[in-house]
Structure 1
Amino acid sequence: MKYFLLALFFCFGTATTLRSQSNKLIKELEAQRTTLQKQITETESLLKNTRKDVGSQLNDLASLTGQIEKRKQYIISMNKDVDAINDELYSLGRQLRKLQKDLADKKKKYESSVQYLYKNKSIEEKLMFIFSADDLGKMYRRLRYVREYATYQRLQGEEILKKQEQVTRKRMELSQVKAAKESLLKEREEEKTKLESQEKEKQTLVSRLQNKQKGLQNEIRRKRKEANQLNARIDKLISEEIERARKRAEEEARREEEARRKAESEAGNKKAKSGTPARTARKAKPLERFSMSKADRELSGNFASNRGKLPMPISGSYIIVSHYGEYAVEGLRNVKLDNKGIDIQGRPGAQARAIFNGKVAAVFQLNGLFNILIRHGDYISVYCNLSSASVKQGETVSTKQSIGQVFSDLTDSGRTVLHFQLRREKEKLNPEPWLNP
């Protein structure tokens, strides 16, 4: 009887746990979708009306493409959520069938026990059963049996009620999950409709740009020329920063070597005074060459260990409108762009933020806009297209610290785009795998 009750409580506790797990799953999926939906809603406001000039149209195409990518990611996320809910529905259905089977078994056993008691319901029959025993030991055992059987029957009735409650709760849970699935499917269809609308809008924009091929090529050449100027300046400053870091490292190594020799010399003098024979001086090792100081090496290791966890370098809502590397613009002939970093569009007033602790290596202006380089060991993050800079060369900055305001182009409906690059010394890296969007 004791083990039977323990099993009952275990089943009841397990059912409660499974129910809470199911509700937790739905809440987690809803929270993830709410976050993604909020991002999409915010970024939709970043899309501007198409203007007549080619440059603005090309910018609008980049913004619209970024919005479409984000919506596609959202739909993919919803597809995964649908699969997860289907798995949960299957699991809940299986649990409900098991509970219903257990309930039927318990009802059958209870029915048998009721019938048995009905046949032996009178007190005289029970007393006869007890007193017909051969000795006192058997009489006592029969008395205990009668009492335990009565208790067992009462507990069986209680178990049936509890099991019935579990079945009812499981049915409600199953109904809630089905409702969540129906809501999700409806939302997915709405998002697909919006995506189709944006795809059509993109095709219209591409067609307009195709009709202005000459102006488009001129705009691409202008953008490429500006990008080359910016990258040449960044490359030069990074080379200078690498050389400064190398000199700092060599100076640190030289001081450490001098300190070591001085310590050895003092130890030798003490031995000479005490009459201990001095050892033959060891030949000095050649000075090792380092590209980084000890502090830079530690900072570099910390930076690398945070790959995929670094914050976005812009405050507020954003869209990545241009990705890293060379790629053709979809729908346009002979239009290729080569991005040494990524372009992130935000709201007017957005701030550029340091992605990690570091030291400002350089602040410079080009075409009237500020650009900032921050060193994180042998990694360097680059923030371009700022209307102002709030840090100076040599300053130490912390993660997410504001370093300047991103420029908003009032001639292009306040378009606000941060150009962001990531380097490891002179090597250009794709920033996206390092950031946590």
Structure 2
Amino acid sequence: MLQSTKKDVKSQLDNLALLTGQIEERRKYINTIESDVHTLTSEIASLQKQLNKLQRDLKDKKRKYETSVQYMYRNKSVQEKLMFIFSAENLSQTYRRMRYVQEYANFQRLQGMEIERKQKQIAAKKREVEQTKHAKQNLLKQGEVEKAKLEIQEKERQTLLADLQKKQKGIQSEIRKKKRSAEQLNAQIDRLIEIEIEKARKRAEEEARRKAAAEAAAKAAAAKKAERETTGGASRSKSTEKNESTKKVAPVEKFSLNNEDRQLSGSFERNRGILPVPITGPYVIVSHYGQYAVDGLRNVKLDNKGIDIKGKPGAQARAVFNGEVSAIFQYNGLNNILVRHGNYISVYCNLSSVSVSKGSKVNTRTVLGTIHTDSSGNTVLHFQLRKETAKLNPELWLGR
């Protein structure tokens, strides 16, 4: 009976986390819809202004065209046009009157074409306004549907919370169990990251040592060449040897990163906020980073060093950036992977199988392994992000 109650509490807490995550995502989606509706409303107002201006322009051009047509009607006969041309006082005036008659005819033709063009512009703008209004109506309907779904989910959550409130003992027991498990997992991750940091320090020291040796050799060669070209080489040679001897025993400057690591770290930092989500397929974040109280449950606080992402059964973990697999270890019969990106490390936990090996070079979105699906059908990836030993909030780095 006790085992059944514990299992029931665990299942209910899992369902609560899933519902809470779905509600958060749906609220974000509704906010996005409302923002899009606001944008479309502004766009419709702008399009309507443009349409009104086009209609005013068309009205003005029609008025001018009507005036010119009336004038031409009054002077429509060929005889009147010829009389106007030949009644000129001289040849120059005759030529100018001929040009005037031609240009006026062209002006009328162009006015007609401009009116036709404006009418087409107005028709196109009206279609654009209608399409935008239609898009707005669709978004409003979609928003209402999402709000209805949200209301149902919130009712489900409240019912679940009311039931869980009666099982405080079981909840606290489950929370303590999860906390112990998380602490043991994090202790292993911390230990492996310390090893990685030490390796990086040694690589940097070795690179600095090689660089210092190369510089010393180059200076020694330059000094010997200078001695051969000048007198008093012997005394200078002793002085040079003494200086070189002093340089050899000087302590090597320590770097936390070598050049390759430094470049990779810089590249990783520039991708903050746009890294891909480390899971394939549809997903929902069911547990956030840091310490926080569970809304609706008394005395229930969670402390997550990363985030928990629930996907569909069969979902795979994927690398968030180029790097190298620095460690693969098992905990509770499941696989966990550390990928180093310079002095940044991403951690992927709860994998049933792995597709890479230690030392493998990976690219952004390289599949690392398949995420474990438990007996309740939960497929949850635990994901962490570190900068050396400092724990980071992964949600600030992922592009969603």
User: If the TM-score is normalised by the length of the shorter chain, which range does it land in?
Assistant: over 0.9
1:171 aligns with 2:126: yes
Aligned length: 385
Once the two structures are overlaid, the 10-residue window that deviates more, 125-134 or 336-345, is 125-134
Once the two structures are overlaid, the 10-residue window that deviates more, 381-390 or 322-331, is 381-390
Out of 355, 364, 374, which is 1:399 matched to? 364
Residue 106 of structure 1, CA deviation: 1.2
Out of 252, 256, 268, which is 2:207 matched to? 252
Task: Please report the RMSD computed on the Cα atoms of aligned residues, expressed in angstroms.
Answer: 1.6
Matches within 5 A, 1:111-150: 111-150=66-105
Out of 338, 345, 361, which is 1:373 matched to? 338
Corresponding residue for residue 15 of structure 2 = 60
Residue 385 of structure 1, CA deviation: 0.8
Corresponding residue for residue 141 of structure 2 = 186
CA shift digits 1:378-397 (9 cap, x unpaired): 11111111112222222222
Corresponding residue for residue 408 of structure 1 = 373
CA shift digits 1:176-223 (9 cap, x unpaired): 221221121111111111111111111111111111111111000100
Once the two structures are overlaid, the 10-residue window that deviates more, 338-347 or 350-359, is 350-359
1:420 aligns with 2:383: yes
Instruction: Please tell me the residue identity of whatever aligns with 2:221.
Output: E
Out of 216, 221, 225, which is 1:270 matched to? 225
Write the distance in 2 (CA, Å) between the matches of 1:96 and 1:271: 84
1:336 aligns with 2:291: no
- Report the CA distance shift for 1:169/1:255 in structure 2 as closer, same or farther (over 3 A): closer
Instruction: Please tell me the residue identity of whatever aligns with 1:105.
Output: D
Instruction: Please tell me the residue identity of whatever aligns with 2:306.
Output: G
Write the distance in 1 (CA, Å) between the matches of 2:392 and 2:157: 29
Corresponding residue for residue 11 of structure 1 = none
Write the distance in 1 (CA, Å) between the matches of 2:219 and 2:126: 82
Instruction: Please tell me the residue identity of whatever aligns with 1:418.
Output: L
Corresponding residue for residue 103 of structure 1 = 58
TM-score, normalising length: structure 2: 0.92
1:358 aligns with 2:330: no
Corresponding residue for residue 3 of structure 2 = none
Which SS does the other structure have where 1:417 is aligned?
Answer: strand
Once the two structures are overlaid, the 10-residue window that deviates more, 166-175 or 337-346, is 166-175
Residue 274 of structure 1, CA deviation: 4.0
Once the two structures are overlaid, the 10-residue window that deviates more, 347-356 or 285-294, is 285-294
Write the distance in 2 (CA, Å) between the matches of 1:183 and 1:432: 31
Corresponding residue for residue 21 of structure 1 = none
Which SS does the other structure have where 1:418 is aligned?
Answer: strand
Instruction: Please tell me the residue identity of whatever aligns with 1:187.
Output: Q
- Report the CA distance shift for 1:154/1:392 in structure 2 as closer, same or farther (over 3 A): closer
**Structure 2 unpaired stretches of 5+:** 1-5
Out of 304, 310, 314, which is 2:279 matched to? 314
Corresponding residue for residue 31 of structure 2 = 76
Corresponding residue for residue 430 of structure 1 = 393
TM-score, normalising length: structure 1: 0.85
- Report the CA distance shift for 1:165/1:262 in structure 2 as closer, same or farther (over 3 A): closer
Corresponding residue for residue 35 of structure 1 = none
